[in-house]
Structure 1
Amino acid sequence: MASGDQHFSAPADPPVVGGRLGLLVAHDFRQLFVADTISQLGAQVSLLALPLVAVLALHASTFEVGALSACETAAFLLVGLPAGAWVDRMRRRHVLIAGDLGRAVLLGSIPVAWWLHWLTVYQMFVVALLAGVCTVFFDVAYQSFLPHLVGRDNLVEGNAKLESVRAVNQIGGPTAAGLIISWLTAPFAIAVNAASYLGSALFVTRIRRREPRPERAPDAHLGREIMEGLRFVLGNRMLRSIAACTGSSNLFGSIATALQVVLLAGILRLPPWQIGLVSSVSAVGGLVAAFTATRVARRLGQGPTIWISIGATSPFALLMPLAQRGVLLWLAAVGGGVWSFGAVVYNVTQVSFRQGLCPERLLGRMNATMRFLVWGTMPLGALLGGTLGAVLGVRPAMWIGAIGGMFCFLPVLASPLRGMRELPSWGPSPGSDLLPAGAQAG
């Protein structure tokens, strides 16, 4: 094992949990839970407001809307790998606070520029890109901090509770966002998102458990640390299959989602509140999944849950390109809810598996490598969606995304995960400090 491995604090002892509240009785997890609740609500406002500013206020083209969507996730492709190595050198709690504050300042610049009549689509590109950089560091630190707070035995419950926050906000958030946008206009609604990140940072500061500052090994080298994370992920057949499945799903999903606001606002001419309501209906499935993911995994087995959850629900995304005013619109929204159910069950199961599989010292690099591989496809998909939408039309481009997404479960179906009811977790493994006990490099 490389020198300097012991400079990280040990993972948290599992909190004593029980009753209906479970992990929420633990003070530190509760602060993270509340912080996530606040920031997720604000993020739902921004998710709807940013493209609406581009479409309705700045009269952006279909390609520009796709490019804006690409800028929001391009940072995972540009800085995703080094972010993991940097996070492993820093206190993760500090990274969370800095990420929240950075996003608050960047998004706050949009309503200011609008009020001064200076706002352009190019400023929105820059804000989306830099806010994405903050999100990269926040997300890598966030996923790496959770095992430290709750212990590995509580990871599935912790991830499920945090996914429930996301699901609740995806239900109520878009409707609230549509109403706020109708009341304040889209540029000023983004100020709500900026304020939410300030609130999130405040609650993260209330987390009591501290990590000691990691000490850099004398021979530390950024490139070698990045490669160590890559070797851990790409050297394990199960992680490779998850990366291929999630990355391809995000690629095809981004083609469709980049154009969804263009379809609803530009073609169907729906008001903002109705667009928000469509998104809320689609998110109901995610809320149901957040409360049932643990039971689904227990009934089907962890490995089968990973491929069945996404394979069985992805065809329902075919309904959105068919959307028209009236019954077909709400049928598409319900189809989105079924797909959302599968996506949340998939995420809770595979993220908990990844966190439990990885040794403490590599958590940041493992999460960053996975985010690079699976979220790095999103800006490519958004750009491809904008290009296809401009050349072929919005609906044909969305069809391509929906049909392609139906086959993304094949890598995990072809992997050892297919029939494994119990997945391996990290433990002493003779002869290697990179492979988990009971697993083999593929």
Structure 2
Amino acid sequence: MPTASLFRHADFRRLWAGDTASQFATFTGHTVLPLLAATVLFASPAQMGLLAAAEHAAFLLLGLPAGVWVDRMRRRPLMIRAGLVRALLLLSVPLAGWFGVLTLTQLMLVAALVGVSTLFFDIAYQSFLPSLIGRARLLDGNAKLQASQSVAQVGGPGIGGGLAQLAGAANAVLLTGCGYLVSVFALWRIRSVEPRPSRDVDTTLRAEVAEGLRFVFGNPSLRAIVCATATANLSGGAFTALEVLFLTRDLSLPAGEVGLLLALGGIGGVTGALTARAWTARLGQARAIWLVPLCTWPSALLVPLAAPGWRVLLVAAGLAGIAYGGVVYNVAQVTYRQAICPDRLLGRMNASVRFVVWGVLPIGGLAGGWLAEAIGVHGAIWACTAVMALGPFWVICSPLRRVRDLPSDPDAGRP
């Protein structure tokens, strides 16, 4: 077991810096784009659902072949190209706003194409990490990357909401595009030489996709993790599509306070990232995967109890609980997936998982918009949070409940 700190690993620091810049850009954009749609383009609940669906449609439509393509390519150059595409797409939004030609259709198209680039970036970076730092340090590396994501979850909405209120939501998108450019620069400075992936020329795309799916769904523990995460993301996709409408219309909050409230909720994620290693050490990695979400995800039910006045703080409390449990859960389950997967299958494994767990996000967004049209935004928020609270059921009923720690041998993950 290596003892050298990852703080001394120069290329990991560069990957960490690039991912941090990317995460800040992403969470700023997740606040600014819905605010732009809701407050400037006056989107309806159904249109907000379509916007949320557009952001994640690529995971459903391209998720499986993307994993094969990632396994065939060097991952760092792919991440750099994805960052450049995201930056250019998002910079087109303020440009259209300055000329008075910005439409909801353009916003949805940009969101969809940014989602395609994000799909490739996310699969590539999770597949790149084991070769960069080694499998023995994956828990440490994932905890640090998750900490950056959690800080971005706090800072991004606050920055986005504040800029939207001060300079206009279209102008605030500038920061998102610039954040991706900073990410590209940091990734470009990584010096580790990445070997060219080997490939069996006689293997078809369909056969390679099928091999990734068999690896994921043939393993009972992986299958339970996928189902639990998909349940949470399905409800989360519906919730995300409606949260800005709920906060601005039902709770009558201005853009700046929306960003602040979302940032307060994100503090739970930062705390989760800082304590994830302690929890996995105390509970065991396998127990952390099911016990932590069991204790924290039901806090989502605090959100629909909010009302104008001091009770808006229930939103922050509920979001903080979800974020805390989600981060500890993600550190444990992502490390498990990377540790048991052979190198040649990492892209396909990550793509197969994300095909399901991110593919349900556009379905959730559409369902949330439809449900809000049918029963109102507040009723739909109740439904979303109730489903989220049930998410841990899958991992509680899996083999993970009967073991404390997880195997580190990639062959142990073979079905």
TM-score exceeds 0.5: yes
Whether the aligned pair in 1 keeps the contact of 2:18 and 2:187 (CA below 8 Å) is yes
The answer to whether the aligner puts 1:367 opposite 2:350 as a matched pair is yes
Distance (Å, rounded) in 1 between the aligned partners of 2:400 and 2:232: 18
Distance (Å, rounded) in 2 between the aligned partners of 1:276 and 1:255: 19
Paired position in structure 2 for 1:380: 363
Query: What is the Cα deviation at residue 335 of structure 1?
Result: 2.0
Spell out, residue by residue over 1:38-81, the C-alpha distance to the aligned partner (whole angstroms, 9 max, x if none). 12222222111101111111111110011101110111000000
The answer to whether the aligner puts 1:219 opposite 2:208 as a matched pair is no
The answer to whether the aligner puts 1:86 opposite 2:69 as a matched pair is yes
Query: What is the Cα deviation at residue 117 of structure 1?
Result: 1.5
Paired position in structure 1 for 2:172: 189
Name the SS of the counterpart of 1:408 in structure 2.
coil
Distance (Å, rounded) in 2 between the aligned partners of 1:44 and 1:364: 24
Paired position in structure 2 for 1:229: 212
Name the SS of the counterpart of 2:307 in structure 1.
coil
Spell out, residue by residue over 1:62-120, the C-alpha distance to the aligned partner (whole angstroms, 9 max, x if none). 10011101110111000000000000000000111011001001111111111111111
The answer to whether the aligner puts 1:406 opposite 2:363 as a matched pair is no
Distance (Å, rounded) in 2 between the aligned partners of 1:389 and 1:364: 37
Distance (Å, rounded) in 2 between the aligned partners of 1:218 and 1:393: 54
The answer to whether the aligner puts 1:390 opposite 2:373 as a matched pair is yes
Output aligned runs, 1:5-16, within 5 Å. none
Spell out, residue by residue over 1:372-418, the C-alpha distance to the aligned partner (whole angstroms, 9 max, x if none). 01111111011000000011100101111111111111111111101
Paired position in structure 1 for 2:186: 203
Percent of residue pairs identical = 46
Output aligned runs, 1:252-267, within 5 Å. 252-267=235-250
Query: What is the Cα deviation at residue 440 of structure 1?
Result: 6.8
Matched letter for residue 158 of structure 2: T
Output aligned runs, 1:104-183, within 5 Å. 104-183=87-166
Spell out, residue by residue over 1:195-250, the C-alpha distance to the aligned partner (whole angstroms, 9 max, x if none). 11011001000001121332432203111111110010011111100011100111
Spell out, residue by residue over 1:275-324, the C-alpha distance to the aligned partner (whole angstroms, 9 max, x if none). 11111110111111111111101111211111111111111111111222
Whether the aligned pair in 1 keeps the contact of 2:215 and 2:414 (CA below 8 Å) is no
Paired position in structure 1 for 2:227: 244
Which of 23, 28, 50 pairs up with 1:40?
23
Distance (Å, rounded) in 2 between the aligned partners of 1:295 and 1:98: 36
Whether the aligned pair in 1 keeps the contact of 2:150 and 2:267 (CA below 8 Å) is yes
Distance (Å, rounded) in 2 between the aligned partners of 1:207 and 1:220: 31
Paired position in structure 2 for 1:11: none
Distance (Å, rounded) in 2 between the aligned partners of 1:416 and 1:313: 21
Matched letter for residue 370 of structure 2: T
Structure 1: runs of 5 or more not aligned: 1-13, 428-435
Paired position in structure 2 for 1:9: none
Cα distance change, pair 164–187 in 1 and its aligned pair in 2 (3 A): same
Query: What is the Cα deviation at residue 15 of structure 1?
Result: 6.8
Whether the aligned pair in 2 keeps the contact of 1:45 and 1:193 (CA below 8 Å) is yes
Which of 415, 421, 438 pairs up with 2:404?
421
The answer to whether the aligner puts 1:24 opposite 2:7 as a matched pair is yes
Spell out, residue by residue over 1:145-181, the C-alpha distance to the aligned partner (whole angstroms, 9 max, x if none). 0101110010011000011111112122222222111
Distance (Å, rounded) in 2 between the aligned partners of 1:191 and 1:356: 38
Query: What is the Cα deviation at residue 252 of structure 1?
Result: 1.2
Name the SS of the counterpart of 2:7 in structure 1.
helix
Paired position in structure 2 for 1:286: 269
Distance (Å, rounded) in 1 between the aligned partners of 2:199 and 2:102: 43
TM-score computed with the length of structure 1 as normaliser: 0.92
Distance (Å, rounded) in 2 between the aligned partners of 1:252 and 1:384: 9
Matched letter for residue 166 of structure 1: Q
Distance (Å, rounded) in 1 between the aligned partners of 2:240 and 2:382: 11
Matched letter for residue 253 of structure 2: L
Distance (Å, rounded) in 2 between the aligned partners of 1:16 and 1:142: 23
Spell out, residue by residue over 1:342-379, the C-alpha distance to the aligned partner (whole angstroms, 9 max, x if none). 00000000000000010000000000000001111111
Paired position in structure 2 for 1:8: none
TM-score computed with the length of structure 2 as normaliser: 0.97
Whether the aligned pair in 2 keeps the contact of 1:80 and 1:368 (CA below 8 Å) is yes
Structure 2: runs of 5 or more not aligned: none
Distance (Å, rounded) in 2 between the aligned partners of 1:351 and 1:411: 16
Paired position in structure 1 for 2:279: 296
Distance (Å, rounded) in 2 between the aligned partners of 1:280 and 1:336: 9
Distance (Å, rounded) in 2 between the aligned partners of 1:413 and 1:387: 31
Which deviates the most, 116-125 or 92-101? 116-125
Structure 1 runs (4+) greater than 2 angstroms displaced: 212-218, 266-269
Count of paired positions: 415
The answer to whether the aligner puts 1:350 opposite 2:301 as a matched pair is no
The answer to whether the aligner puts 1:73 opposite 2:65 as a matched pair is no
Matched letter for residue 382 of structure 1: G
More helix by share: 2
Whether the aligned pair in 2 keeps the contact of 1:103 and 1:197 (CA below 8 Å) is yes
Distance (Å, rounded) in 2 between the aligned partners of 1:182 and 1:60: 18
Query: What is the Cα deviation at residue 270 of structure 1?
Result: 1.1
Distance (Å, rounded) in 2 between the aligned partners of 1:264 and 1:331: 12
Which of 101, 107, 111 pairs up with 2:84?
101
Name the SS of the counterpart of 1:88 in structure 2.
helix
The answer to whether the aligner puts 1:57 opposite 2:40 as a matched pair is yes
Distance (Å, rounded) in 1 between the aligned partners of 2:240 and 2:299: 14
